[in-house]
Amino acid sequence: MVDKKERFEKVATARTQKIIDMVRLLGNCSNKSNYTYTSEQVEAIFTTIQKEIDLAREKYKIQEDKCEDKFKLP
């Protein structure tokens, strides 16, 4: 039986690699001989991606905070 740590490592590794592969594919769209785009479009793409990364990172921080906060009477 696979424990939670092993399952996380397997799933997180695979998903991270997929993201890396997709970012590389997105980078291929920078070839001006094949595509036409504006700096505003590029900025919108990377702003959106960065927001999603920030949200995902925040989810991990929230989980860590939940684990650390213990109720104590004053």
Q: Classify residue 73: in a domain, yes or no.
A: no
Percent of the chain with pLDDT over 70: 88
- Same domain for 41 and 28: no
Containing domain of residue 6, as a range? Answer: 1-32
Written as one letter, the residue type at 61 is K
Work out how many domains the chain is built from and give that number: 2
Mean pLDDT of the chain: 91
Distance (Å, rounded) from C-alpha 74 to C-alpha 72? 6
CB 37 within 8 A of CB 56: no
- Same domain for 62 and 42: yes
Provide the pLDDT for residue 1.
76
pLDDT tops 70 at residue 18: yes
Question: Tens digits of per-residue pLDDT, 20-56?
Answer: 999 999 999 999 999 999 999 999 999 999 999 999 9
